[in-house]
Amino acid sequence: MRPGFLRSLAGIWLLTWRTEMHWKRMLIRIPGLFVLPVLIFMALSEAKVVFSRTSQRPEPAIVLNEFAVRLQAMNMPLDNERLARLSAIFHEEFERSAARWRNSSRLISAEEQNAEMKDCYDRIRRRARTVLDEPQFVQLQSFINETSRSRMARQPLWNWTLPFYQVLLNLYFFLVLPLMCVRAAGGLIRDELQADTLGFLVTRPITRARLLLAKYLAHAGWMQILLAIQTGLIFAAAAWCGVPGLAKLLPLFLAVQFLAVLAWNALGVFLGQLTRRYIALALLYGFVIEMGIGRIPTNINNLSLMRHLKTLLAHDAPLQVMFEWSPQGTPFSVCAVLLAAVLFVGLAAALFTWFEYHHRAEMQA
Amino acid sequence: MNPIIQARELSRWYGIVMGLNNVSFDIGPGLTGLVGPNGAGKSTLIEIITGQLQPSSGTLTVFGEEPWNNPRLLRRIGYCPEGEALPKDLRPLDWLRGLALLSGMSRADAAARCEAVLDQSGLAREHWSKTLGQFSKGMKQRVKLAQSLMHHPDLLVLDEPMNGLDPMGRQEIAQILKNLAASGVSILISSHILAELESLCRNILILNWGRILASGDQRDIRGDIRNWSEELSISCDAPEKLARHLFDAGVLLGFDLSSDGRLHIRVKDPQAFYADWTRLLLASGVQVHDIRSQTRSLKSIFEKVTT
């Protein structure tokens, strides 16, 4: 009997998914999958309300009414026809400005808001020239100057979809996902050691390196399925709330997530082989490499996995603008992530081949 | 006949603690018992044989090859560990199927073989739908034995396989092992239940403090032990008279009368006593009903060599 690698992988896969699909685990896992989608739903629901409240665009009807009252006081009242035409102009130009803000996917500074309002009033001025007589037009110019000064925006205006991207990326993709992968993969051998079941596996007719590789692939496969479902639920919650552009983002996100899961699982396996306290080591790695070295604006930041994942995600235009990421060097980043995965798994396999990882030593440590 | 397992100056340390201390031995085909108190080094030896540990110094070969990271050799070895730990969320068939695939079996062969070894190990089918976490100690032992038989090994290494089994279960397992040995499988079995090993194995290896104290045929070991005093228990009509007669004949080291009327004697030279005992008993004039040896057991050998 000469076990091929695929057959060994099939065996480990059977043991993996049968264990993971136990009803007790499902009882915890399934509700857990809904935590982030519910969080997103709540955040976006509130965001819509806050966005409309903080929007400092004045209502066109109110502005027009103030102008009409002013003309009335100066014995230059607007007749119904002029009022109707002027009202249409005000509503169209204000809506044009609002649509531009509404569809932007980033913070809009106060300067930009004021510049946009200035453009809006300039457009109103140009169009109103053909509607108003000369004295009324002079009053309109004066009114617009005073209104612009009194209604200047002083705070940035953030797009209501921003919380979704912050939860999706800063919380889920760059925190929860790596931690989940490293925690689970780090225990691939350690958990078997502590449970004293590793002996059943290492006494099979398979090299230790192949055994570790089979466990890694089976486990990474399981995590891919689980996290794809998680991502699907997150996007579903966002779609429910009306976030635009998700159909374009989802395939890219899933592809990058696929690479990320491979890499983070590989890191976890390697750290798990290094030490029992692999979570602490992973946090240290995160602080030093990802948050430290990864942010240095020179080539040394290529050591950071997150930096490469950001490059890949930057192919989505809103993300590119929102987080100021650059998609330059995509092929290099793909290779870097895959190379990191191969390197970590290779090192882990080498450690597992050279060292014994004995239950007695594990329990005494 | 070539030995199956051969060790030469084998040592294994755990830090400063000596697990095995410069041991050398040969284990041949058939059934061999591994005997020793807790901490003697039995599990360490078994784990080196099954490729889970490496020697600190010296060599150990199984079928002429070193076991560490050796899939070709591991294909020929079946291992049943002592511990009760099993994946608690899996059903026995699922677990065995996974291990069978890992051992290189096809899906079809694995399915058939799993059921066959579970039947062979005596696990009732009504339990097959339970998870391993719901199993009793004895049921777990049977499943562990089943997984060690999955890939038709040439050498079966069993660490305390009778743990948790009732007497009938132990008998069943013993019969399975005898059948396997008869079919050509070599078996190394470690156990504290010396009575079981005694009936199962002719060859034994006695370990204590990481050293081999004795190895080989039980009878040969017994013969090699010097100053071996025999203890006998005799039921007769006049125990005091018989005791006085034997004492005067100079063959006794001591004697005792138990409350049930039996005479317990310790003889100096068992070989000489057995050569002459018919004459001694006739000359005493005492009618003897039965006579039993207290020291022909493996337990007595074990106690003798470990003290």
Domain boundaries, chain A: 5-44+160-364, 56-150
Say which amino acid occupies B275: A
Per-residue model confidence as pLDDT tens digits over A50-69: 666 555 567 888 899 999 99
Residues 6+ apart with CB under 8 A from A89: A124, A127, A128, A131
Q: Contact A272/A348 with Cβ under 8 angstroms?
A: yes
Q: Do B98 and A204 touch (CB under 8 A)?
A: no
- Confidence label for A180 from pLDDT (cuts 50, 70 and 90): very high
Between chain A and chain B, the number of residue pairs with CB atoms below 8 A apart is: 110
Q: What is the pLDDT of residues A336-348, one digit of tens each?
A: 999 999 999 999 9
Q: Do A201 and B103 touch (CB under 8 A)?
A: no
Q: Is B193 exposed, middle or buried (0-12, 13-18, 19+ CB in 10 A)?
A: middle
Most confident of A329-338, B7-16, B264-273: A329-338
Using an 8 Å CB-CB cutoff, list residues of chain A that contact chain B.
1-4, 7-8, 10-12, 14-15, 18-19, 22, 24-25, 195-197, 199-208, 211, 214, 353, 356, 358-361
pLDDT at A53: 58
So what's the pLDDT on residue A116?
Answer: 86
Residue with tokens 């958990």: A191
Mean pLDDT of A18-43: 91
- Bridge-based pairing state of the strands B31-35 and B203-208: parallel
**What mean pLDDT is predicted for residues B19-36?**
91
| Distance between CA atoms of residues B172 and B178, nearest Å | 10
Give chain B positions within 8 Å (CB) of A201.
102
What whole-number distance in Å separates Cα of residue B105 and Cα of residue B109?
Answer: 6
Mean pLDDT of B75-82: 94
Would you kindly state where each structural domain of chain B is located, as residue ranges? 5-224, 230-306
Taking CA atoms, what residue in A is nearest to B50?
A203
The SS3 assignment for B6 reads strand
More confident: B172 or B269: B172
Amino acid at A92: E
Tokens representing B225 are 């032990």
Subunit contact A3:B52, Cβ cutoff 8 A: no
Contacts of A261 (CB under 8 A, 6+ apart): A177, A181, A220, A223, A224, A227
pLDDT in tens, A210-248: 999 999 999 999 999 999 999 999 999 999 988 888 999
Helices (DSSP H) in A241-329: which residue ranges?
A: 246-274, 278-285, 305-313, 317-323
The span from the CA of A23 to the CA of A33, in Å, is 15
Judged against a pLDDT cut of 80, whether residue B222 lies above it is answered with no
Give the per-residue pLDDT at B299: 67
| B8 beta partners | B59
Residue B157 has pLDDT above 90, yes or no: yes
- Pairwise CB contact (< 8 Å): B85 & A15: no
pLDDT above 70: residue B8: yes
pLDDT at B196 over 70: yes
Per the prediction, chain A carries an average pLDDT of: 89
Query: How distant is the Cα of B95 from the closest Cα of chain A, in angstroms?
Result: 6
The one-letter code for the residue type at B137 is K
Tokens 């005791």 belong to which residue?
B243
What percent of chain B shows pLDDT beyond 90?
47
Chain center to CA of A326 = 15
Q: Which of A143, A126, A147, A131 is nearest to A74 (CA)?
A: A143
How close A282 comes to chain B (CA, Å)? 27
What integer is the mean pLDDT of B40-59?
93
Q: Which residue in A has a C-alpha nearest to residue B143's C-alpha?
A: A200
Is there a contact between A2 and B104 if contact means CB atoms under 8 Å apart?
yes
Around B225, how many Cα atoms within 13 Å sit in the side-chain half-sphere? 24
Contacts of A15 in chain B (CB under 8 A): 87, 90, 94-95, 98-99
Residues in A closer than 8 angstroms to B14, CB to CB, are 360-361
Higher pLDDT, A99 or B23: B23
Q: What span, in angstroms and rounded, lies between the C-alpha atoms of B136 and A200?
A: 19
Subunit contact A19:B89, Cβ cutoff 8 A? yes
% of residues, chain A, pLDDT over 90: 64
Cross-chain Cβ contact B89/A22 below 8 Å = yes
- Identify the band that residue B27 occupies on the pLDDT scale cut at 50, 70 and 90: very high
Closest among A230, A202, A225 to A214, alpha carbons compared: A202
Residue of B68 and B228 predicted with greater confidence = B68
Confidence band (pLDDT; 50, 70, 90) for A105?
A: low
B69 and A12 within 8 Å at the Cβ level: the answer is: no
Report the chain A residue with the minimal C-alpha distance to residue B104: A3
Reading the block at residue B143, the tokens are 């499943």
Does residue A39 carry a pLDDT above 80?
Answer: yes
Q: B5-224: which CATH architecture? A: 3-Layer(aba) Sandwich (3.40)
Residues of B in contact with A355 (CB under 8 A): none
Tell me which amino acid residue A2 is. R
- pLDDT for B227: 53
Least confident range of B53-57, B122-126, B229-233: B229-233
Q: Name the residue among A18, A196, A202 with its Cβ closest to that of B51.
A: A202
Task: Say if residues A298 and A245 touch (Cβ distance below 8 Å).
Answer: no
With contacts defined as CB-CB under 8 Å, which chain A residues touch B81? 196, 199-200
Positions of E strands within B16-70:
17-27, 31-35, 57-62
Q: Could you give the CA distance from residue A128 to residue B237 in angstroms, rounded to a whole number?
A: 140
SS3 call for B53: coil
Per-range mean pLDDT, top range of A277-281, B17-21, B171-175, B251-255 = A277-281
Instruction: Find the farthest-apart pair of alpha carbons in chain A and give their distance in angstroms, rounded.
Output: 105
Are the beta carbons of A8 and B104 separated by less than 8 Å?
yes
Query: Tell me, what's the pLDDT at A286?
Result: 94
Minimal C-alpha gap between A230 and chain B (Å): 24
Q: What pLDDT score was predicted for residue A112?
A: 81
Neighbours of A145 (CB within 10 A): 11
Strands B288-293 and B230-236: antiparallel
Give contacts of B91 with chain A, Cβ < 8 Å.
Answer: 18
DSSP string, A77-111: PPPHHHHHHHHHHHHHHHHHHHHHHHH--S-B-HH
Q: What is the pLDDT of residue A275?
A: 92
CA atoms within 13 A on the CB side of A108: 26
Say how far apart CA A337 and CA A340 lie, in whole Å: 5
Mean pLDDT for chain B overall: 87
Residue of A203, A352, A364 to mutate for B, most B C-beta atoms under 10 A: A203
Give B209's pLDDT tier (boundaries 50, 70, 90). confident
Mean pLDDT of A23-36: 91
**Average pLDDT for A306-321:** 90
- Can you give the pLDDT at residue B297? 62
Q: Nearest to residue B209, comparing CAs of B81, B61, B36?
A: B36
Phi/psi of residue B206, nearest 5 degrees: -105, 125
Token pair 């076991």 is found at B67
Query: Does B231 or B296 have the greater pLDDT score?
Result: B231
B305 sits in which H/E element:
helix B298-306
CATH of domain B230-306: 3.30.70.260
